[in-house]
Amino acid sequence: MTSFTDLAVVSCGVMSLEIQALRDEGFLDTKHVFYTTPGLHQDPFELERQLFEKVARAKKVALGVIVVYGGKFCYVNTKNPTRTMKTLMAELQPNVARVNATHCMDMVAGEEERDRIAQEVAGGESVWWMTPGWIKYRNQVFKGMDKARANENFGRHSIAIVLDAVGYTEKYMEEKPEAFLDYSDWMGLPIQSYPVTLDRFKTLLSEAAEKLNK
């Protein structure tokens, strides 16, 4: 089994539930995890600031750093479009590796699996994908988004599916049914939880660790 004991993890806070689950089961045996504020895809400049600050801190306590951020959708710099996550990763070197995924949903279910789930649950219609962190950190993930903008954002989708590997969504629905219904109403979409495993996330973390442990 891959060892993470000499490594640190720097992750978007949205993935904290999955990371904690892997720490609890003993798979992710690092002592050092640093989280950036959930929802910083809406503020690329703050994302960049926090990412560099957390990685600098992580380098002081570990031999290598795994970055848990998507490569395509998490960091979009509208003022400087050629400055991408790939650029940031190059500047963060040495001894830093990012998990090979496009966004947090892709970390727990690859494109092929998401296509299968969309076919099964929504008959192949357009799906808005989420992970449990999008439920837990709703106010941060959608900070500043009003109902009108929500309609514009979610209007072309038929359902929101939460790819849940930690059982958080079902528990939330039971404990806070009114908040859950309010979320669904605000999105203008039915929200459904879909159970997945942490196997893909484990593989991505292991692959990043292997790059650093070479």
- Whether the pLDDT of residue 214 is over 80: the answer is no
Residue 204: predicted pLDDT: 98
Whether the per-residue pLDDT at 155 is higher than 90: the answer is no
- The answer to whether residue 149 scores a pLDDT higher than 90 is no
Give residue 99's pLDDT: 98
Overall average pLDDT of the 116-135 stretch: 95
Q: Is the pLDDT of residue 61 over 80?
A: yes
3 with 28: CB under 8 angstroms?
no
Residues 39-52: tens digit of each pLDDT: 898 889 999 999 99
For residues 58-67, average pLDDT: 98
What is the pLDDT at residue 132? 98
Joined together, the tokens standing for residue 59 give 């380098």
Mean pLDDT for the stretch of residues 123-143:
94
Tell me how crowded residue 42 is: count the other CB atoms within 10 A of its CB: 14
Rounded distance, CA 189 to CA 201, Å? 27
Residue 153 scores a pLDDT above 90:
no
- The domain segmentation of the chain, as residue ranges, is 7-104+198-213, 110-195
Q: Could you tell me which residues come within 8 angstroms of residue 46 by beta carbon, excluding any fewer than 6 positions away?
A: 37, 40
Query: pTM of the entire structure?
Result: 0.95
What is the predicted pLDDT for the residue at 143? 87
